[in-house]
Amino acid sequence: MDRLIPAREERLLEALRMIAPGTLLRQAIDNIVRARTGALLVFADEEKIRPLISGGIDIDVALKPMVLYELAKMDGAILLDRAGTHILHANVQLMPDARIDSQETGTRHRTAERVAKQLDTLAISISAARDVVTVYLGEIRYIMDPIRVLLAKADQALETLERFRSRFNEVVRTLSTLEFQHGVTLMDVITVLQRTEMVLALSRLIERYIVELGTEGRLVALQLGELLFNVRETQLAVLMDYLPDNSPEKIQEVLKALSGLSSEELLSPEVIARILGYPDDPNVIETRVEPRGYRMLGKILRAGDRTIEELVQRFGTFEALISAPVEDLASVSNMGMARAREIKEGLIRLRQRDLLERYG
């Protein structure tokens, strides 16, 4: 699938959910494909589609897979409501504007594409000869793969994601080591964000497969969930630690900008540095940067614990936080010596674990 802008991507995913395995529509589509009768299904509001209709039969019944399958044996198009829950008309001739550009050669596919563009709606063309199901949604054209092909693609993507996740883990461990050594450069931070976005970009592709697989994609969804564990949380914590302006509004702006980068832009440290809010300088990526401590504290305290924000506000940097005496920690919001000691011991354990991973 071509990369789509988010709004168009979400529209296509919504359409694929309607016809995914496990739905009544998919049962009907599979029956039509097996019977090789072909079909043209259009999902539109009655008042919008009416000017394009010629002839046909008024049906007005709730969707049932076998009814839709039987109606597909007739030559004309089948019209359903936008939600795909009600069959409105069958065996109709559709007359979209012939001036609308179409690259399709078959009559059924050309009609489906023009109707989808003219009404900005969903149309599905099922080829009688080639077992091909093509989805048209406004300007979007998408050819559905058979389930076996989708599962193979998903398995291959999961294998690649596993390698991406392994590399992501490595760069995050390196960042942790450098934080304890007070030696982080902006390039180290950018490397983590690059790897994070590579993982998330591939996960978005697999999520498309899961949507299209419907009930057949449960195992793929479980595997994806395991591989994505704590990735987004790490990304957010890194941004909280290193953005010059880490306000919630700025973080959302940066997340949106990162997810919209092309492959070439994602590989450019200078582009990411600008997105993060650092000066447009060729040497900026070598700048030493100091974490605030959000990510490390998140390993000790529960997510959303107000204590994390209070500690960061009190000490300012991770270096000041880790070197602070227990008494100073205890003075923050009157947390008390017992909890301050737990936090201090937790930071010490993280440093010891880092040393153990490095030197064995």
In the chain, the percentage of residues whose pLDDT exceeds 90 is 81
Spell out the residues 6+ positions from residue 124 whose beta carbon is closer than 8 angstroms to its own.
Answer: 19, 29, 39, 40, 41, 42, 43, 112, 133, 134, 135, 136
Give the residue from 17, 102, 96, 87 showing the smallest Cα distance to 50.
96
Report residue 1's pLDDT band, with 50, 70 and 90 as the boundaries: very low
What is the C-alpha to C-alpha distance for residues 7 and 55, in angstroms, rounded to an integer? 35
pLDDT at 276: 96
Looking at CATH, the fold of the domain delimited by 145-290 is given as: Ferritin (1.20.1260)
SS3 of residue 80 by DSSP: strand
> Would you identify the CATH topology of the domain 292-360?
DNA polymerase; domain 1 (1.10.150)
pLDDT digits (tens, 9 = 90+) for 245-284: 999 999 999 999 999 999 999 999 999 999 999 998 888 9
Lowest mean pLDDT among 3-7, 201-205, 288-292, 334-338: 3-7
Q: What is the pLDDT of residues 39-95, one digit of tens each?
A: 999 999 988 999 999 989 998 899 999 999 999 999 899 999 999 999 999 999 999
- pLDDT-derived band at 2 (thresholds 50, 70, 90) equals very low
Predicted local distance difference test score (pLDDT) of residue 6? 62
Residue 235 class from Cβ within 10 Å (0-12 exposed, 13-18 middle, 19+ buried)?
Answer: buried
Q: Report the C-alpha gap between 243 and 257 in whole angstroms.
A: 14
What pLDDT, on the 0 to 100 scale, is given for residue 7? 63
Q: Is there a contact between 201 and 3 (Cβ–Cβ < 8 Å)?
A: no
Predicted structure pTM score: 0.84
Q: Cα(172)–Cα(189) distance, rounded to whole angstroms?
A: 9
- Packing angle of the helix pair 231-242, 248-259 (nearest 10 deg): 120
Q: What is the dihedral of CA 216, 219, 222, 224, to 10 degrees?
A: -80
For residue 120 the two structure tokens come to: 């900005």
Q: Give the SS3 label for residue 189.
A: helix
Domain boundaries of the chain, sorted by first residue: 6-144, 145-290, 292-360
User: Nearest-CA neighbor of 89 among 42, 159, 22?
Assistant: 42
Fold of 6-144: YojJ-like (1 (3.40.1700)
Cα–Cα distance list, 263 to 46, 137, 171, 198, 202 (Å): 43, 26, 19, 9, 12
For the cut 70, the answer to whether the pLDDT of residue 3 exceeds it is: no
Number of helical H runs and strand E runs in the chain: 17, 8
